[in-house]
């Protein structure tokens, strides 16, 4: 597609606009004057950016058999959810599996420039995490290990310098030195899957950590009321928080509390979709362990009677945006900003925006009945429609 025109209401102020797109960029955003009722017009927003997605329908980005085409097959389904950028997330596994995963993603990005745009970087969640049950979440204990800068450098090289975010537990051996070196090399550091003390969290922040990965999850089911590692991160203003607002990982009151404590500007919404997302209910097993996809959509570590340890989510990013608004943590506009502007700002990238000169990365949607979800009509990436069909002017 070389040029197109979109008529829709802006997500941020409801204004009816005509957006002109030439090649990969927005060239004009002008007021439009609908003939009919404006309520019939859909909304348009900058594309969603999810910094934590593990795969789709059985394909994991750290699958030891990942190939470039499998990686693309696990990324493309997210276009139906308004996502225009995502960080493929590789979780704790063997060095070999991580290497294979990063090599496949690198190959896919080098082969397809459009994919390189969609994947601004990868997220390495682990393997330098807490080995304790609870904080460890679904990360396989056998592969949890002390922070290893040399191993990371090897993986970074394999990825073609694409690892942009590492989630680490500050209490693992060599973590602080790792954080300092990573930050110095331009990699962002998140604290997560941790049982750290307040002192250890503070030390990680002083070494350069700037994010809490899915705050409130990857924790013991029962912890001391205070102090504990959740409060310590919640009250640390140098840490932005990512949260999984799928309606299952965190109670509504906790979502509201985190957004209010951190502010809308310092909260990032992620779906943390499991590689089992998109799979029908059942028991699944791979190198990462055995999980159960339940009828209500939860994905839990199998073999526990309580079924209380979630193994990532089965929801997509747009569902999490809609739920954050529905539960009263933010307006829908704010929830969208938390999922497009905030991640780009966090990474120091130009903010996604509906302004001339910006890449035509956007999605068109109608809020569905009851606010439960967004009805995504179109997802456009660099001016190319990747999902749906651009509606003709009303
Ligand atoms: Zn996690």
In whole numbers, what is the pLDDT of the chain averaged over residues?
A: 95
Q: What is the pTM of this model?
A: 0.96
Q: Which CATH number goes with the domain that contains 365?
A: 2.30.40.10
Instruction: Mean pLDDT check: name the lowest of 65-74, 95-104, 144-153, 283-292.
Output: 283-292
**Which burial class, exposed, middle or buried, applies to 116 when counting CB atoms under 10 A from its CB (0-12, 13-18, 19+)?**
middle
Please provide the distance, in angstroms rounded to a whole number, between the alpha carbons at the two ends of the chain: 22
Residue 84 included in any domain: yes
Residue 144 included in any domain: yes
- pLDDT exceeding 70 applies to what percent of the chain? 99
User: What pLDDT band is residue 161 in, cutting at 50, 70 and 90?
Assistant: very high
Count: domains in the chain: 2
Both 243 and 291 in one domain: the answer is yes
Both 174 and 37 in one domain: the answer is no
Name every residue whose Cβ is closer than 8 Å to that of residue 249 and which is 6 or more positions away in sequence: 214, 216, 217, 243, 272, 310, 313
Q: Which CATH number goes with the domain that contains 265?
A: 3.20.20.140
pLDDT (tens digit per residue) in 52-70: 999 999 999 998 999 999 9
Residue 20 included in any domain: yes
Both 7 and 59 in one domain: the answer is no
Both 377 and 290 in one domain: the answer is no
Q: CA 369 to CA 327: how far, in whole Å? A: 15
Both 40 and 83 in one domain: the answer is no
Name every residue whose Cβ is closer than 8 Å to that of residue 274 and which is 6 or more positions away in sequence: 54, 55, 291, 299, 311, 312, 313, 314
- pLDDT exceeding 90 applies to what percent of the chain? 86
Residue 336 is part of which domain span?
48-347
Both 127 and 196 in one domain: the answer is yes
User: What pLDDT band is residue 352 in, cutting at 50, 70 and 90?
Assistant: confident
Mean pLDDT along residues 319-329:
96
Q: Separation of 28 CA from ligand 1 center, angstroms?
A: 40
Which of 212, 213, 208 is closest to 187 using CA atoms? 208
Return residues with CB closer than 5 A to ligand 1 (ion). Answer: 218
Q: CA 104 to CA 98: how far, in whole Å? A: 10
Residue 384 included in any domain: yes
Q: Separation of 217 CA from ligand 1 center, angstroms?
A: 7
Both 307 and 368 in one domain: the answer is no
pLDDT (tens digit per residue) in 2-13: 689 999 999 999
Both 379 and 273 in one domain: the answer is no
Q: Separation of 123 CA from ligand 1 center, angstroms?
A: 11
Q: Separation of 190 CA from ligand 1 center, angstroms?
A: 11
User: What pLDDT band is residue 394 in, cutting at 50, 70 and 90?
Assistant: low
Residue 149 included in any domain: yes
Q: Separation of 210 CA from ligand 1 center, angstroms?
A: 16
Q: Separation of 138 CA from ligand 1 center, angstroms?
A: 8
Both 143 and 39 in one domain: the answer is no
User: What pLDDT band is residue 380 in, cutting at 50, 70 and 90?
Assistant: very high
Q: In the predicted model, is pLDDT for residue 225 greater than 90?
A: yes
Both 168 and 296 in one domain: the answer is yes
Residue 394 included in any domain: no
Where is pLDDT greater, at 306 or 129?
129
User: What pLDDT band is residue 312 in, cutting at 50, 70 and 90?
Assistant: confident
Both 15 and 159 in one domain: the answer is no
Q: Separation of 39 CA from ligand 1 center, angstroms?
A: 40
Residue 393 included in any domain: no
Q: Separation of 310 CA from ligand 1 center, angstroms?
A: 9
pLDDT (tens digit per residue) in 245-290: 999 999 999 999 999 999 999 999 999 999 999 999 999 998 778 8
Q: CA 169 to CA 203: how far, in whole Å? A: 11
Mean pLDDT along residues 109-129:
97
Q: Separation of 368 CA from ligand 1 center, angstroms?
A: 29
Q: In the predicted model, is pLDDT for residue 370 greater than 90?
A: no
Residue 303 included in any domain: yes
Q: In the predicted model, is pLDDT for residue 1 greater than 70?
A: no
Mean pLDDT along residues 291-315:
86
What pLDDT shows up at residue 2? 66
Where is pLDDT greater, at 33 or 338?
338
Q: In the predicted model, is pLDDT for residue 308 greater than 80?
A: no
Both 18 and 55 in one domain: the answer is no
Q: Separation of 88 CA from ligand 1 center, angstroms?
A: 13
HEC-encoded secondary structure of the chain: CCEEEEEEEECCCCCEEEEEEECCEEEEEEECCCCCCHHHCCEEEECEEEEEECEECCEECCCCCCCHHHHHHHHHHHHHHCEEEEEEEEECCCHHHHHHHHHHHHHHHHHCHHHHHHCCCEEEECCCCCCCCCCCCCCCHHHCCCCCHHHHHHHHHHCCCCEEEEEECCCCCCHHHHHHHHHHCCCEEEECCCCCCHHHHHHHHHHCCCEECCCCCCCCCCCCCCCCHHHHHHCCCCCEEEEECCCCCCCHHHHHHHHHHHCHHHEEEECCECCCCCCCCEEEEECCEEEEECCCCCEEECCCCCCCCECCECCCHHHHHHHHHHCCCCCHHHHHHHHHHHHHHHHCCCCCCCCCCCECCEEEEEECHHHCCEEEEEEEECCEEEEECCCCCC
């Amino acid at each position: 597609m070389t040029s197109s025109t979109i008529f829709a209401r802006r997500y941020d102020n409801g204004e009816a606009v005509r957006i002109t797109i030439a090649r990969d960029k927005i060239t004009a955003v002008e007021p439009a004057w609908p003939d009919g009722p404006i309520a019939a017009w859909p909304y348009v927003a900058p594309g969603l950016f999810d910094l934590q997605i593990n795969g789709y329908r059985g394909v994991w980005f750290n699958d030891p058999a990942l190939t470039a085409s499998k990686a693309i097959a696990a990324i493309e389904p997210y276009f139906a959810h308004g996502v225009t950028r995502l960080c493929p997330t590789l979780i704790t596994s063997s060095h070999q599996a991580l290497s294979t995963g990063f090599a496949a993603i690198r190959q896919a990005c080098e082969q397809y420039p459009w994919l390189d745009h969609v994947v601004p970087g990868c997220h390495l969640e682990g393997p330098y995490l807490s080995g304790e049950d609870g904080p460890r979440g679904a990360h396989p204990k056998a592969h949890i290990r002390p922070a290893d800068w040399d191993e990371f450098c090897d993986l970074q090289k394999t990825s073609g310098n694409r690892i942009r975010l590492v989630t680490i537990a500050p209490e693992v051996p060599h973590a602080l030195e790792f954080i300092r070196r990573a930050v110095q090399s331009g990699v962002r550091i998140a604290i997560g899957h941790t049982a750290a003390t307040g002192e250890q969290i503070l030390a990680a922040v002083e070494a350069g950590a700037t994010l809490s990965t899915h705050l409130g999850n990857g924790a013991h089911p029962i912890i001391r009321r205070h102090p504990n590692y959740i409060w310590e991160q919640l009250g640390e203003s140098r840490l932005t928080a990512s949260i999984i607002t799928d309606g299952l990982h965190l109670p509504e009151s906790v979502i509201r509390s985190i957004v209010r404590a951190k502010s809308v500007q310092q909260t990032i919404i992620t779906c943390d979709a499991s590689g089992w997302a998109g799979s029908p209910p059942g028991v699944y097993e791979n190198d990462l362990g055995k999980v159960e996809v339940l009828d209500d959509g939860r994905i839990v570590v199998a073999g526990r009677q309580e079924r209380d340890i979630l193994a990532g989510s089965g929801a997509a990013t747009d569902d999490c945006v809609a739920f954050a608004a529905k539960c009263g943590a933010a307006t829908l506009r704010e929830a969208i900003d938390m999922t497009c502007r905030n991640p780009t700002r966090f990474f120091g990238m130009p903010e996604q925006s509906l302004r001339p000169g910006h890449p035509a990365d956007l999605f068109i949607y109608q809020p569905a009945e009851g606010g439960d979800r967004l009805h995504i009509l179109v997802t456009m990436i660099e001016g190319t429609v990747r999902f749906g069909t651009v509606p003709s002017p009303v």
